[in-house]
Chain A
Amino acid sequence: MQREDKQLELVLENFQSKLNEFKAQIYALIFKLEHERDNVNWTTVLDTFAVFSTQYTAIMKYLSYEKLPQLRNYSVLPLMLNPERDEDLARITENRVPALSHDIVPDFLRTKTEPEVEHKLMQVEHKAGGLQFETAQKQLAAFNKVVNHVLDLVSKAREEWEVETGARVGIGQTSSVADLHTLVSAVSMGKNLKPMVPQVSPGGMMVPPTGRPVTPSMGPNTPPMGMMPKPPPGMKTNVKAAGAPHPYR
């Protein structure tokens, strides 16, 4: 008995984590729809739905795994309905269900589909069952034909397009990694940007800007924030030097 309980707990935990993952994905979609309504295109939405569908199948598969205890054998019973707001419940459900009232219980604890939906489903199933084998075969063949045709068209277009892009590869190099690094280090750390102010080093000679840092501010070769291994010996004086007149002033 104890073992079974433990197993059940484990299963539920797994199940919950899967559901949470699923929920996060749905959240992301809703967020996108709310914030970028104008720029969402149907392909991405379709992709997301495809992901949803696989998730859903995965969950269903997990549930139908033989060794799992049959969840359907357990039932959830509402012991008490309460129209008052229940803070705990609201917190658990992230403010979606403020109270376990008569209003929502039939919807949330439903184990069967709504009669209306059920009826519709029956109708469809009935229709499918009543179909003649030969007619079905025929329709299938026709549909296959159409799909194959479309597939042909698409693959042809793709071939053409690939030839075109293949031709364009020959343009040659359009970007350079070295340049990128120059630019990024200039913008982020000011490399090569610090002006060549003649500075007298202790030796009394002019120091090019690529040399050791002499300005009290960050030198070009000083590792940037976060990488400073330990303060260089000149650190202490640097702090004081902040009060000294600066070349910019």
Chain B
Amino acid sequence: MGVTIIQQFPMKENRTGAQIIEFLTKRVNALGAKQCGTFLVDCETYASIPQLGAQRTLHVFHNSEQPASVFAILDNGTGKTVPVVADALFDLLLLKMSSVYTSKKSKVEIRGPRFELNDFVIKIGAININHNVKGIIVEAEYRPCVVFGLCWDMLREFLQGFLGSCVSNIPPHYFQNRMNDIFQPLDTIQQYLDHITIYRKATGILQQYNTNTT
């Protein structure tokens, strides 16, 4: 497990998600990367029942890169988040909790092709919220390195190499306090959560806007 950063790629007005993925695939192939299968990250969100007091939100992730693990991130509503990494059977346990935590029925899936270029792994995925494509996410992993602070500049250069100027020169917010920590698979998931939250908010506003106008 190496350092991974996740980057949004802006949607263009007149292009579908599949077209953008194809466009990026061409660029990545030009760099010399080879496609090695596909990837899938999914996220299910649960909310606590009102009887428990303050509303808590539970996000449960699966990542095809770590197929035997389940990642769960709990937001207790007051800004504190607690992550847990568990075995695949955790899903079964969640069913037992269904009386306390109910699914919000908003499944997020990010899937797309996975490429390898020497020690780099590149994933280009379309983010689906309830089966609607909401955006494009690019994940780049540099496997030999385990500390974000050591290779951020390099990863940035790498991403800018094929994504262009949409890659910011400032490290992602999530890493600001974690520059010198050893990178964990959970860090990837946390970044996905950040991005999903942004998309959800955006669509939420959009939906509100739509309902208001109609």
A and B touch in the complex (CB under 8 A): yes
Could you list which residues of chain A lie within 8 angstroms of chain B, going by C-beta atoms? 239, 242-243
Q: A242–B51 Cα gap in the complex (Å)?
A: 9
Residue B52 interfacial (CB < 8 Å): yes
Give the CA-CA distance A239 to B51 in the complex, in Å. 7
Point out the residues of chain B lying under 8 angstroms from A239, CB to CB: 51
- Answer yes or no: B79 CB below 8 A from chain A CBs: no
Q: Does B53 contact A (CB under 8 A)?
A: yes
Give B43-54 as 1s and 0s: 1 = Cβ < 8 Å from A's Cβ atoms. Answer: 000000001111
Q: Within 8 Å CB of B54, what residues of A?
A: 243
Cβ of A243: which chain B residues have Cβ within 8 Å of it?
Answer: 52-54
Which single residue of chain A is at the shortest CB-CB distance from B54?
A243
Contact partners of B52 in chain A: CB under 8 A = 242-243
A163 to chain B, nearest CB (A): 52
Smallest distance from the beta carbon of B80 to chain A beta carbons, Å?
Answer: 13
The distance from the CB of A236 to the nearest CB of chain B, in whole angstroms, is 11
Q: Measured between alpha carbons, how far is A117 from B54 in the docked complex, in Å?
A: 78
CA distance A239 to B50 in the complex (A): 11
Nearest B-chain residue to A239, judged by Cβ: B51
> Within 8 Å CB of A242, what residues of B?
52-53
The contact sample of 6 A-B pairs, CB cut-off 8 A, is A239-B51, A242-B52, A242-B53, A243-B52, A243-B53, A243-B54
In the assembled complex, the Cα of A72 lies from the Cα of B52 at a distance in Å of 71
Least CB distance, B75 to chain A, in whole angstroms: 17
A243 to B51 alpha-carbon distance, docked (Å): 9
| Minimum C-beta distance from B52 to chain A (A) | 7
Expressed in whole angstroms, the Cα–Cα distance for A242 and B48 within the complex equals 13
* CB of A99 to closest CB in B, whole Å: 35
B124 vs chain A, min Cβ distance (A): 41
Could you tell me which residues of chain B, from 24 to 73, have a CB within 8 Å of some CB in chain A?
51-54
* Bound: A215/B54 CA distance, A: 21
Task: Find the B residue at minimum CB distance from A244.
Answer: B53
Nearest CB to that of B52 among chain A residues? Answer: A242
Shortest distance from the beta carbon of A106 to any chain B beta carbon, whole Å: 47
The 4 A-B residue pairs whose C-beta atoms are closest, nearest first, are: A243-B53, A239-B51, A242-B52, A242-B53
How long is the Cα–Cα vector from A242 to B53 in the complex, in angstroms? Answer: 8
A243 to B53, CA, bound (A): 6
CA of A242 to CA of B52, assembled, Å: 7
CB distance from B123 to the nearest CB of A (A): 38
| C-alpha spacing A239/B53, complex, angstroms | 10
**Inside 8 A of B53's CB, which chain A residues have their CB?**
242-243
Q: What chain A residues lie within 8 Å of B51 (beta carbons)?
A: 239
Taking the closest CB of chain B, its distance from the CB of A237, in whole angstroms, is 13
A243 to B48, CA, bound (A): 13
**Nearest CB in chain B to that of A243: its residue:** B53
B195 smallest CB distance to A (angstroms): 32
Q: Report how far A239 CA is from B100 CA in the complex, Å.
A: 12
What's the Cα separation between A1 and B94 when bound, in Å?
60
A49 to B51, CA, bound (A): 59
Q: How far is the CA of A242 from the CA of B50 in the complex (A)?
A: 12
Minimum CB distance partner of B53 in chain A: A243
| Minimum CB distance partner of B51 in chain A | A239
Complex CA distance for A239 and B49, rounded to whole angstroms:
12
Please report the C-alpha to C-alpha distance between residue A239 and residue B52 in the assembled complex, in whole angstroms.
8
Report Cα–Cα, A243/B54, bound state, in Å. Answer: 9
Measured in the bound complex, the distance between the Cα atoms of B49 and A243 in whole Å is 13
In the complex, A125 Cα to B54 Cα: how many Å?
86
Give per-residue flags for B168-188: 1 if the beta carbon is below 8 A from chain A beta carbons, else 0.
000000000000000000000
In angstroms, Cα B54 to Cα A242, docked, is 11
From residue 72 to 130 of chain B, which have CB atoms closer than 8 A to chain A?
Answer: none
CB of A245 to closest CB in B, whole Å: 12
A243 and B52 alpha carbons, distance in the complex (Å): 7
Taken together as a complex, chains A and B put the C-alpha atoms of A34 and B53 apart, in Å, by: 51
